[in-house]
Structure 1
Protein backbone atom coordinates (compact mmCIF):
# COMPACT_ATOMS: atom_id res chain seq x y z
CA UNK A 1 0.00 0.00 0.00
CA UNK A 2 1.24 3.50 -0.88
CA UNK A 3 -0.04 6.53 1.03
CA UNK A 4 0.86 10.13 1.74
CA UNK A 5 2.96 10.55 4.86
CA UNK A 6 1.49 12.17 7.93
CA UNK A 7 3.23 14.02 10.75
CA UNK A 8 3.03 10.77 12.75
CA UNK A 9 5.41 9.17 10.23
CA UNK A 10 8.27 11.56 11.08
CA UNK A 11 10.15 9.09 13.34
CA UNK A 12 10.02 6.36 10.66
CA UNK A 13 11.01 8.78 7.88
CA UNK A 14 13.90 10.00 10.00
CA UNK A 15 15.03 6.43 10.71
CA UNK A 16 14.85 5.48 7.02
CA UNK A 17 16.83 8.57 5.98
CA UNK A 18 19.56 7.45 8.36
CA UNK A 19 19.37 3.88 7.02
CA UNK A 20 19.67 5.20 3.45
CA UNK A 21 22.64 7.38 4.38
CA UNK A 22 24.39 4.39 5.95
CA UNK A 23 23.73 2.31 2.81
CA UNK A 24 25.18 5.11 0.69
CA UNK A 25 28.29 5.18 2.91
CA UNK A 26 27.52 8.70 4.14
CA UNK A 27 25.92 8.20 7.57
CA UNK A 28 27.82 11.18 9.02
CA UNK A 29 26.16 13.48 6.48
CA UNK A 30 22.58 12.65 7.59
CA UNK A 31 22.21 15.40 10.19
CA UNK A 32 18.54 16.31 9.78
CA UNK A 33 16.56 16.11 13.00
CA UNK A 34 12.99 14.97 13.41
CA UNK A 35 12.00 18.56 14.20
CA UNK A 36 13.64 19.83 10.99
CA UNK A 37 11.77 17.18 9.01
CA UNK A 38 8.50 18.07 10.74
CA UNK A 39 8.89 21.73 9.75
CA UNK A 40 10.11 20.93 6.22
CA UNK A 41 7.37 18.42 5.44
CA UNK A 42 4.40 19.66 7.46
CA UNK A 43 5.16 23.28 8.30
CA UNK A 44 3.54 26.41 6.91
CA UNK A 45 5.46 26.20 3.61
CA UNK A 46 6.33 22.53 3.00
CA UNK A 47 9.60 22.03 1.11
CA UNK A 48 8.85 18.46 0.03
CA UNK A 49 6.31 15.66 0.16
CA UNK A 50 6.67 12.03 1.18
CA UNK A 51 4.95 8.83 0.11
CA UNK A 52 5.08 5.84 2.43
CA UNK A 53 5.08 2.20 1.34
CA UNK A 54 3.49 -0.12 3.86
CA UNK A 55 4.03 -3.86 3.82
CA UNK A 56 0.69 -5.51 3.02
CA UNK A 57 1.38 -8.43 5.29
CA UNK A 58 2.37 -6.49 8.40
CA UNK A 59 1.24 -2.91 7.83
CA UNK A 60 4.74 -1.79 8.86
CA UNK A 61 6.64 0.88 6.98
CA UNK A 62 8.58 -0.75 4.16
CA UNK A 63 9.97 2.34 2.45
CA UNK A 64 9.49 5.93 1.42
CA UNK A 65 9.92 8.40 -1.42
CA UNK A 66 10.66 12.07 -0.69
CA UNK A 67 10.03 14.42 -3.62
CA UNK A 68 9.44 18.04 -4.56
CA UNK A 69 8.41 19.94 -7.70
CA UNK A 70 10.98 21.50 -10.00
CA UNK A 71 10.80 23.65 -13.11
CA UNK A 72 12.36 23.28 -16.56
CA UNK A 73 13.14 26.45 -18.49
CA UNK A 74 13.53 24.31 -21.62
CA UNK A 75 10.04 22.83 -21.53
CA UNK A 76 8.39 25.68 -19.61
CA UNK A 77 6.77 23.10 -17.37
CA UNK A 78 7.08 21.78 -13.87
CA UNK A 79 8.54 18.39 -13.11
CA UNK A 80 9.13 16.15 -10.15
CA UNK A 81 12.48 15.62 -8.43
CA UNK A 82 12.83 12.48 -6.36
CA UNK A 83 15.32 13.24 -3.59
CA UNK A 84 15.19 9.91 -1.75
CA UNK A 85 13.81 6.49 -2.57
CA UNK A 86 14.42 3.85 0.05
CA UNK A 87 13.02 0.39 0.63
CA UNK A 88 14.13 -1.45 3.73
CA UNK A 89 16.35 -4.44 2.90
CA UNK A 90 14.05 -7.10 4.36
CA UNK A 91 11.16 -5.91 2.15
CA UNK A 92 13.08 -5.50 -1.12
CA UNK A 93 11.87 -7.54 -4.05
CA UNK A 94 8.22 -7.25 -2.93
CA UNK A 95 7.33 -4.42 -5.32
CA UNK A 96 7.47 -1.49 -2.91
CA UNK A 97 10.05 0.48 -4.90
CA UNK A 98 8.16 -0.01 -8.15
CA UNK A 99 4.89 0.97 -6.44
CA UNK A 100 6.45 4.16 -5.04
CA UNK A 101 7.85 5.12 -8.46
CA UNK A 102 4.52 4.32 -10.15
CA UNK A 103 2.71 6.55 -7.63
CA UNK A 104 5.15 9.37 -8.38
CA UNK A 105 4.67 8.86 -12.13
CA UNK A 106 0.93 9.17 -11.54
CA UNK A 107 1.51 12.45 -9.67
CA UNK A 108 3.46 13.65 -12.72
CA UNK A 109 0.65 12.67 -15.08
CA UNK A 110 -2.07 14.22 -12.87
CA UNK A 111 -0.17 17.52 -12.64
CA UNK A 112 1.06 17.78 -16.22
CA UNK A 113 4.69 17.34 -15.16
CA UNK A 114 6.82 16.40 -18.19
CA UNK A 115 9.90 15.27 -16.29
CA UNK A 116 10.49 12.89 -13.41
CA UNK A 117 14.15 13.02 -12.40
CA UNK A 118 16.46 11.75 -9.69
CA UNK A 119 20.10 10.88 -9.15
CA UNK A 120 21.73 7.55 -8.40
CA UNK A 121 25.23 6.80 -7.19
CA UNK A 122 27.38 5.37 -9.98
CA UNK A 123 28.36 2.34 -7.87
CA UNK A 124 24.77 1.38 -7.00
CA UNK A 125 24.37 -1.24 -9.73
CA UNK A 126 21.22 -2.86 -8.25
CA UNK A 127 19.42 0.51 -8.28
CA UNK A 128 20.71 1.40 -11.75
CA UNK A 129 19.50 -1.93 -13.13
CA UNK A 130 16.13 -1.47 -11.43
CA UNK A 131 15.66 2.05 -12.82
CA UNK A 132 16.69 0.99 -16.32
CA UNK A 133 14.23 -1.92 -16.17
CA UNK A 134 11.47 0.66 -15.72
CA UNK A 135 12.61 2.62 -18.78
CA UNK A 136 14.63 5.32 -17.01
CA UNK A 137 17.50 6.73 -19.03
CA UNK A 138 20.72 7.56 -17.20
CA UNK A 139 22.01 10.95 -18.35
CA UNK A 140 25.74 10.34 -18.22
CA UNK A 141 26.58 13.67 -19.84
CA UNK A 142 25.23 15.65 -16.86
CA UNK A 143 27.11 16.02 -13.57
CA UNK A 144 25.77 17.12 -10.21
CA UNK A 145 27.44 20.28 -8.88
CA UNK A 146 27.41 21.03 -5.16
CA UNK A 147 28.64 23.93 -3.05
CA UNK A 148 28.65 23.47 0.70
CA UNK A 149 30.53 24.62 3.78
CA UNK A 150 33.44 27.01 3.28
CA UNK A 151 33.19 27.32 -0.52
CA UNK A 152 29.47 28.16 -0.26
CA UNK A 153 30.17 30.79 2.40
CA UNK A 154 33.05 32.27 0.39
CA UNK A 155 30.93 32.61 -2.74
CA UNK A 156 28.01 34.08 -0.79
CA UNK A 157 30.34 36.70 0.70
CA UNK A 158 31.05 37.92 -2.84
CA UNK A 159 27.37 38.44 -3.68
CA UNK A 160 26.28 41.90 -4.75
CA UNK A 161 23.28 43.50 -3.07
CA UNK A 162 20.11 41.94 -4.40
CA UNK A 163 16.66 43.49 -4.07
CA UNK A 164 14.98 40.12 -3.54
CA UNK A 165 16.46 36.99 -2.04
CA UNK A 166 14.99 33.50 -2.09
CA UNK A 167 13.23 32.44 1.09
Structure 2
Protein backbone atom coordinates (compact mmCIF):
# COMPACT_ATOMS: atom_id res chain seq x y z
CA UNK A 1 0.00 0.00 0.00
CA UNK A 2 1.28 3.46 -0.82
CA UNK A 3 1.81 5.57 2.26
CA UNK A 4 2.17 9.33 2.24
CA UNK A 5 5.98 9.26 2.24
CA UNK A 6 6.07 6.90 -0.72
CA UNK A 7 2.97 7.98 -2.63
CA UNK A 8 3.39 8.67 -6.34
CA UNK A 9 1.54 11.52 -7.94
CA UNK A 10 -2.18 10.73 -7.81
CA UNK A 11 -2.26 10.40 -11.58
CA UNK A 12 0.58 10.16 -14.03
CA UNK A 13 -0.16 10.91 -17.63
CA UNK A 14 2.22 9.39 -20.16
CA UNK A 15 4.41 11.96 -21.92
CA UNK A 16 3.16 13.76 -25.05
CA UNK A 17 4.99 11.24 -27.23
CA UNK A 18 2.27 8.72 -26.31
CA UNK A 19 0.31 7.74 -29.44
CA UNK A 20 -2.67 9.98 -30.16
CA UNK A 21 -5.31 7.46 -29.09
CA UNK A 22 -3.69 7.00 -25.69
CA UNK A 23 -3.44 10.61 -24.54
CA UNK A 24 -6.34 10.03 -22.18
CA UNK A 25 -4.65 7.04 -20.57
CA UNK A 26 -3.45 7.53 -17.04
CA UNK A 27 -1.21 5.60 -14.68
CA UNK A 28 -2.42 5.78 -11.09
CA UNK A 29 -2.19 3.88 -7.81
CA UNK A 30 -4.61 0.99 -7.58
CA UNK A 31 -7.69 1.54 -5.43
CA UNK A 32 -10.00 -1.02 -3.80
CA UNK A 33 -12.51 -0.60 -6.66
CA UNK A 34 -9.82 -1.89 -9.06
CA UNK A 35 -9.50 -5.34 -7.49
CA UNK A 36 -12.04 -7.08 -9.77
CA UNK A 37 -10.68 -5.65 -13.02
CA UNK A 38 -7.09 -6.29 -11.86
CA UNK A 39 -7.94 -9.92 -11.12
CA UNK A 40 -9.32 -10.27 -14.65
CA UNK A 41 -6.07 -8.86 -16.06
CA UNK A 42 -4.10 -11.28 -13.87
CA UNK A 43 -6.09 -14.17 -15.36
CA UNK A 44 -5.21 -12.88 -18.82
CA UNK A 45 -1.54 -12.84 -17.81
CA UNK A 46 -1.79 -16.41 -16.49
CA UNK A 47 -3.30 -17.49 -19.83
CA UNK A 48 -0.57 -15.71 -21.79
CA UNK A 49 2.13 -17.34 -19.65
CA UNK A 50 0.40 -20.75 -19.94
CA UNK A 51 0.12 -20.91 -16.13
CA UNK A 52 -3.64 -20.94 -15.51
CA UNK A 53 -3.27 -24.22 -13.62
CA UNK A 54 -1.39 -22.24 -10.93
CA UNK A 55 -3.81 -19.31 -10.77
CA UNK A 56 -5.81 -19.41 -7.52
CA UNK A 57 -6.04 -15.70 -6.64
CA UNK A 58 -9.46 -14.36 -5.64
CA UNK A 59 -10.84 -10.87 -5.23
CA UNK A 60 -10.67 -11.37 -1.47
CA UNK A 61 -7.03 -12.53 -1.44
CA UNK A 62 -5.96 -9.74 -3.81
CA UNK A 63 -7.85 -7.13 -1.80
CA UNK A 64 -6.17 -8.32 1.41
CA UNK A 65 -2.75 -8.32 -0.25
CA UNK A 66 -3.12 -4.77 -1.54
CA UNK A 67 -5.40 -3.04 0.96
CA UNK A 68 -5.60 -5.21 4.09
CA UNK A 69 -4.29 -4.35 7.53
CA UNK A 70 -0.74 -5.29 6.53
CA UNK A 71 -0.45 -4.90 2.74
CA UNK A 72 2.02 -7.25 1.08
CA UNK A 73 2.19 -5.46 -2.27
CA UNK A 74 1.30 -2.31 -4.16
CA UNK A 75 0.03 -1.74 -7.66
CA UNK A 76 -0.23 0.91 -10.31
CA UNK A 77 -2.91 0.59 -12.96
CA UNK A 78 -3.16 1.84 -16.52
CA UNK A 79 -6.63 3.18 -17.20
CA UNK A 80 -7.95 4.07 -20.63
CA UNK A 81 -11.49 5.26 -21.36
CA UNK A 82 -12.59 4.31 -17.85
CA UNK A 83 -11.34 0.72 -17.93
CA UNK A 84 -8.18 -0.95 -16.70
CA UNK A 85 -5.95 -2.15 -19.52
CA UNK A 86 -2.75 -2.89 -17.61
CA UNK A 87 -1.07 -2.96 -14.24
CA UNK A 88 2.24 -3.22 -12.42
CA UNK A 89 2.28 -5.10 -9.10
CA UNK A 90 5.36 -4.72 -6.89
CA UNK A 91 6.70 -5.01 -3.35
CA UNK A 92 9.81 -4.25 -1.33
CA UNK A 93 12.58 -6.79 -0.89
CA UNK A 94 16.00 -6.37 0.71
CA UNK A 95 19.62 -6.76 -0.42
CA UNK A 96 22.08 -7.80 2.27
CA UNK A 97 24.99 -6.89 -0.02
CA UNK A 98 23.69 -3.32 -0.40
CA UNK A 99 22.09 -3.24 3.04
CA UNK A 100 19.17 -1.45 1.41
CA UNK A 101 15.67 -2.29 0.40
CA UNK A 102 14.82 -2.83 -3.22
CA UNK A 103 11.68 -2.95 -5.30
CA UNK A 104 10.59 -6.22 -6.92
CA UNK A 105 8.18 -6.13 -9.85
CA UNK A 106 5.98 -9.21 -9.64
CA UNK A 107 3.86 -8.43 -12.71
CA UNK A 108 3.89 -5.97 -15.57
CA UNK A 109 0.93 -6.55 -17.85
CA UNK A 110 -0.70 -4.62 -20.68
CA UNK A 111 -3.50 -6.13 -22.72
CA UNK A 112 -2.25 -7.53 -26.06
CA UNK A 113 -4.07 -4.97 -28.25
CA UNK A 114 -2.22 -2.15 -26.47
CA UNK A 115 1.28 -3.62 -26.38
CA UNK A 116 3.71 -1.31 -28.11
CA UNK A 117 1.50 1.70 -27.26
CA UNK A 118 3.78 3.10 -24.56
CA UNK A 119 1.65 1.98 -21.60
CA UNK A 120 4.10 -0.74 -20.54
CA UNK A 121 6.92 1.77 -20.72
CA UNK A 122 4.90 4.28 -18.68
CA UNK A 123 4.13 1.67 -16.00
CA UNK A 124 7.74 0.49 -15.82
CA UNK A 125 9.08 4.05 -15.63
CA UNK A 126 6.64 4.98 -12.86
CA UNK A 127 7.65 1.98 -10.73
CA UNK A 128 11.31 2.82 -11.41
CA UNK A 129 10.61 6.39 -10.27
CA UNK A 130 9.14 5.02 -7.03
CA UNK A 131 12.29 2.94 -6.51
CA UNK A 132 14.41 6.08 -6.93
CA UNK A 133 12.14 8.20 -4.70
CA UNK A 134 12.31 5.53 -2.00
CA UNK A 135 16.10 5.27 -2.32
CA UNK A 136 15.97 1.60 -3.24
CA UNK A 137 19.28 -0.05 -4.06
CA UNK A 138 17.82 -1.97 -6.98
CA UNK A 139 14.69 -2.61 -9.02
CA UNK A 140 14.36 -6.14 -10.32
CA UNK A 141 11.98 -8.73 -11.72
CA UNK A 142 11.87 -12.08 -13.51
CA UNK A 143 11.00 -12.89 -17.09
CA UNK A 144 10.12 -16.23 -18.68
CA UNK A 145 12.95 -17.44 -20.90
CA UNK A 146 10.63 -17.96 -23.89
CA UNK A 147 9.19 -14.43 -23.77
CA UNK A 148 11.68 -12.84 -26.14
CA UNK A 149 9.49 -9.80 -26.79
CA UNK A 150 9.54 -8.97 -23.06
CA UNK A 151 13.28 -9.65 -22.81
CA UNK A 152 13.91 -7.29 -25.74
CA UNK A 153 11.64 -4.64 -24.18
CA UNK A 154 13.41 -4.85 -20.81
CA UNK A 155 16.91 -4.67 -22.29
CA UNK A 156 15.84 -1.72 -24.44
CA UNK A 157 14.75 -0.02 -21.20
CA UNK A 158 18.24 -0.53 -19.72
CA UNK A 159 17.68 -3.73 -17.72
CA UNK A 160 20.15 -6.61 -17.64
CA UNK A 161 18.91 -10.20 -17.78
CA UNK A 162 21.12 -12.07 -15.30
CA UNK A 163 22.24 -15.36 -16.89
CA UNK A 164 23.71 -16.92 -13.74
CA UNK A 165 20.69 -16.75 -11.43
CA UNK A 166 17.75 -19.16 -11.15
CA UNK A 167 14.54 -18.79 -9.18
CA UNK A 168 14.18 -21.31 -6.36
CA UNK A 169 10.65 -21.99 -5.13
CA UNK A 170 8.99 -24.18 -2.51
CA UNK A 171 5.16 -24.40 -2.42
CA UNK A 172 2.29 -26.55 -1.22
CA UNK A 173 3.17 -29.88 0.41
CA UNK A 174 6.89 -29.30 -0.13
CA UNK A 175 6.67 -26.05 1.82
CA UNK A 176 4.77 -27.75 4.64
CA UNK A 177 7.35 -30.56 4.75
CA UNK A 178 10.24 -28.10 4.80
CA UNK A 179 8.63 -26.21 7.68
CA UNK A 180 8.18 -29.35 9.78
CA UNK A 181 10.53 -29.48 12.69
CA UNK A 182 11.21 -25.77 12.66
TM-score (ref. length: structure 1)? 0.91
Query: Mind listing any 5+ residue stretches in structure 1 that lack a counterpart?
Result: 160-167
TM-score (ref. length: structure 2)? 0.84
Report how far residue 92 of structure 1 moved.
1.1
Counterpart position of 1:140: 163
- 2:59 pairs with one of 28, 31, 34: 34
In structure 1, what is the Cα distance between the partners aligned to 2:149 and 2:127?
20
Give the structure, 1 or 2, with the largest relative contact order (CA under 8 Å, sep 6 or more).
2
Query: Mind listing any 5+ residue stretches in structure 2 that lack a counterpart?
Result: 1-25
Whether the aligned pair in 1 keeps the contact of 2:90 and 2:106 (CA below 8 Å) is: yes
Report how far residue 60 of structure 1 moved.
2.2
The answer to whether 1:24 aligns with 2:11 is no
The answer to whether 1:60 aligns with 2:87 is no
Report how far residue 153 of structure 1 moved.
1.4
Report how far residue 154 of structure 1 moved.
1.3
Q: CA RMSD in A?
A: 0.9
Counterpart position of 1:80: 103
- 2:76 pairs with one of 51, 67, 81: 51
In structure 2, what is the Cα distance between the partners aligned to 1:41 and 1:150?
26
Whether the aligned pair in 1 keeps the contact of 2:102 and 2:131 (CA below 8 Å) is: yes
What are the Cα deviations for residues 116-140 of structure 1, in whole angstroms up to 9, with x where unaligned? 0000000000000000100100011
In structure 1, what is the Cα distance between the partners aligned to 2:65 and 2:115?
28
